[in-house]
Chain A
Amino acid sequence: MSVTLNNIVMDYSGNLALDDVSVTFGFNEVHGLIGENGAGKSTLINVLSGTVSPTSGDIYINDSLVKLGAPCDALLHGIAQVSQEGSLVPQLSGAENIMLGAEPKYLGSIIRRKDLLHRAEKLLNKWFPEASIPLDRSVETLGVADQKVIEIVRALRGNIKILILDEPTAALQNREKAQLWKIISSLPPKGVGVVLISHFLSEIKLLSNKVTVLRDGKFIDTLQAENTTEGNLIDLMLRRTGAAKGSGKVKSRSFVGDKTVLSVKNWKAGQVSVPQFEVMAGEIVGLIGLTGAGHFGFVRSLYSKEGLISGTVEVEGKPVTGNVRAMQRSGVAFVPDHRMENSLMPDGSVTENLSLVHPDFAARNGILSFGVEKAEVARVIDLLNIKTSSRGQLLRNLSGGNKQKVSLGKWLYGAENKYCVMIFIEPTEGVDIGAKQEIYRKIRALAKQGMGIIIASSDLLEIEHIAQRVVPFVNGCPGKEIFAEDFSEKRFISALSGENA
């Protein structure tokens, strides 16, 4: 009694989201599915739930070949999904949400309200007799855990054999989590297998019978949960072998000077809590962590004050209050992740994008001098080796690596001696190898000029390659820092599992 995915390949025009993945999900188990962002978890469950059709590969249910062309096909075969964001209609009652699309009616048009409530309650009792959720209240008045349960009951409405749960506890408090965990583990004995995606490895370990690990679209391993440790799982999720290792590795803390350019104290923002954090002039600090560990959130809140609760930040010894503009004026530059959303104007020209931060460099009394602008744009294009057909080329026509270079170049255009700290998040996300090396070289050069560099990245090899000091984040807090002479993937991975190795 199982569903088997065989040799699934998902090819998004040359980009392999899934590369020959085979995995079997039983109807009597909780099967954890883990991997970092971009590992292929979402694509795999989209294949399983019929949302996308794989480029090649077969799906078998109890050894018979099936075709899942659309979500309704998957439902007919007993596969249902509860997505992460939630799909309830907040104004409707729990009962109405459970029976959505299958309401009992008079004459096929008038809803039988009493019957509807009755049937919904029967369903809830059938699956989760211990849950006491008032089904006549609008779901927006219920707790998040109760809402999740209602979604799960609705998903189980048909003859469901496999239930896919995507990050079911992401929005939940600890107490509510326990409540939902009970619900999840009660399903396999009733003949419903669960495919559980979660970033919380402790949760995966606690609930799952088996765990499958994906990395970079490839199947890594399926393990019995009781025979493994969290550290082992993290190792499997993150370890990259065979890549350009050891080349040009930084020897030690080779930077000179002892001037502190950035100093953060008692920083609390959202889930992040950092008692102290400092960056010296000329230093490259790497921040690492699993997804949601707070290393991105920390630097983001540092720059934009997003979600800031308390804390002080000093740049070159001067305290800075206020958000983006104040940080920028005091000398902090920010090269964010997801460059197309956070950093660039896709329909603007290369020139307009490069001059976005300091257009006034080429202006007198607010009036632009195209000669000055042209020269400065040419300088930055040359400096970063940006490949573009012209300065007027639309940004969206550039390749990923060149877009990233523009995203960095914005902070170099007309900015001589303006910045003493530069913050990067995922500096080489979606960037080809050649451009990657160029970006690393440039970052090193900037550090050499005396800038303090912070790089938050999920790519451990990248951090090992470029950073001189690494701060690992676990559950929103920085752990013991690691210096260049002790760098190794193993060391990073054990730090991320919260072990003080």
Chain B
Amino acid sequence: MSRKVQEMDTKKSKNIQFNMEWVQKYSTLIVLVLMFIGFSVSVDRFMTIINLTNILQQISILTIVGCGLTFGFAAKEIDLSVGYIVGLTGILVPMLLINGVDLWFAITIGMGAGLVVGITNGLLVTKIGIPSLIATLATGSILFGINFMLTGGRAIYGGLPDSYLFLGQGRFLGVPILAFFMIAAVALAWFVMERTVFGRYIYAVGGNEKAAELSGVRIVFYRTAALTIVALFAAVAGALLAARLGSGQPNVGERYLLDGLATVFIGMTMFRPGTATVLGTFCGALFIGILDNGLNLIGMDSYIQNIVKGIVILVAVAIVSRTTKLKLL
């Protein structure tokens, strides 16, 4: 008799546990949907096609940065220089274009710059052994200086080819071109992380570096690769950002660091709690985008938006730290 009761008890607690897991996985998604519904009902101009495509346009570049950061976080590496990489290519590409360089060549050079920064970050971390948090803080500072040196602190504008501006401002069938880039970036990142051996190894290095090493995974290569990919995605984002703004500005990339980290942290609360996933990051970007947009439409001051965003990040990180040890240093 008592044994039966006990069995039922364990069954019950198992059910509760299962539900808890479910809640953990999807609570952020539910909050996202509720927020969306809340804004649609309470804010007049929110649920219009124009506004919704605007949101897509606004989050595209952020999502691309976030997708890159996801690779880094999955391998337990952080990159604090992303914002300045966005800035760097956002300056380099328009500079080259104004000087008459062919569009594709200019973009290739921009990507090349990102590649160099990424590999440098990676080698500083893996070969010299500086924790990524510190290595990228320093390279970020260097890039910040370079960005201002290249531009003399002024914006670069005028004479940018229409084909370039179209990438950042154009629409196809009413959908911003940027959104197509975003979808492509998400699809590519998702495929690599979830469907390839390469992605498996990135997760393995982040999941347990020692175990990966003893299993024969080339951890130096994969950690370097993760940081290189972060920089490459940031470089793409930078080239697109300048096209959207119609000018290259030395200090516009910075906000993509905090916002980019926010998308990843929010993403880490869902699907696989404690682990960065591409779809999680995408949802994180939607979260930030809808929140920003809704608060804007309500007419809230931008500094209050900053406060709200900070709180959202703290809550997300608090949830993540409850389930797993967040270890980046």
Contact = CB atoms under 8 A, between A and B. Distances in A.
Interface string B189-225: 0000001111011011001101111111110000000
B263 interface: no
B324 interface: yes
A368 B207 contact: no
A324 B201 CA distance: 16
B196 A357 contact: no
Contacts of A486: none
B216 A357 contact: yes
Contact of B272 (A341, A346, A347, A363): A347
Contact of A343 (B195, B211, B217, B218): B211
Contact of B208 (A345, A366, A368): A345
Contacts of A304: 214
A241 B52 CA distance: 74
A356 B204 contact: yes
A304 B200 CA distance: 22
- SS of B interface (majority): helix
B275 interface: yes
B283 to A, nearest CB: 19
Contact of B197 (A345, A347, A359): A359
Nearest to B204: A356
Contacts of B210: 341-342
B198 A366 contact: yes
A217 interface: no
Contacts of A367: 195-197
A421 B64 CA distance: 46
Contacts of A368: 195-197, 200
A350 to B, nearest CB: 13
B321 to A, nearest CB: 13
Nearest to B275: A347
A39 B253 CA distance: 58
Contacts of A357: 215-216
Interface string A339-364: 00111111110001001110110010
A324 B216 CA distance: 6
Given A347-B272, A347-B274, A352 B200 contact: yes
Contact of B215 (A329, A346, A347, A356): A356
A359 B201 contact: yes
B271 to A, nearest CB: 12
A210 interface: no
A352 B203 contact: yes
A345 B210 CA distance: 10
Nearest to A407: B211
Contacts of A193: none
Nearest to B273: A347
Contacts of A352: 200, 203-204, 207
B218 A325 contact: yes
Contacts of B213: 324
B227 to A, nearest CB: 20
A402 to B, nearest CB: 16
B200 to A, nearest CB: 5
Given A325-B218, A345-B204, A366 B197 contact: yes
A334 B196 contact: no
A472 interface: no
A79 B10 CA distance: 43
Interface string A11-48: 00000000000000000000000000000000000000
Contacts of A360: 197
A343 B215 CA distance: 8
Nearest to A335: B214
Contacts of A303: 214
Interface string A300-328: 00011000000000000000000011001
Contacts of A469: none
B279 to A, nearest CB: 16
Given A356-B212, A410-B215, A348 B201 contact: no
A294 interface: no
A348 B207 contact: yes
B69 to A, nearest CB: 19
A343 B207 CA distance: 11
A363 B198 CA distance: 11
A432 to B, nearest CB: 18
Contact of B324 (A334, A347, A356): A347
Given A345-B207, A352-B203, A356-B204, A334 B197 contact: no
A355 B207 CA distance: 13
Contacts of A345: 203-204, 207-208, 211-212
Contacts of B212: 345, 356
Contacts of B211: 341-345, 356
A343 B204 CA distance: 11
Contacts of A355: 200
B272 A359 contact: no
A282 interface: no
Given A345-B207, A347-B274, A363 B215 contact: no
A252 to B, nearest CB: 34
Contact of A324 (B196, B198, B214, B274): B214
Interface string B309-329: 000000000000000100000
A336 interface: yes
Interface string B143-185: 0000000000000000000000000000000000000000000
Interface of B: 195-198, 200-201, 203-204, 207-208, 210-218, 272, 274-275, 324
10 contacts: A303-B214, A324-B213, A347-B274, A348-B203, A348-B207, A352-B207, A356-B215, A357-B216, A359-B201, A368-B195
Interface of A: 303-304, 324-325, 328-329, 334, 336, 341-348, 352, 355-357, 359-360, 363, 366-368, 410
Nearest 10 A-B pairs (CB), nearest first?
Answer: A345-B207, A328-B216, A345-B208, A359-B200, A357-B215, A359-B197, A348-B207, A325-B216, A363-B197, A356-B215
Given A352-B203, A366-B196, A367-B197, 9 more contacts: A342-B210, A342-B214, A343-B215, A346-B208, A348-B207, A352-B207, A356-B217, A359-B200, A368-B196
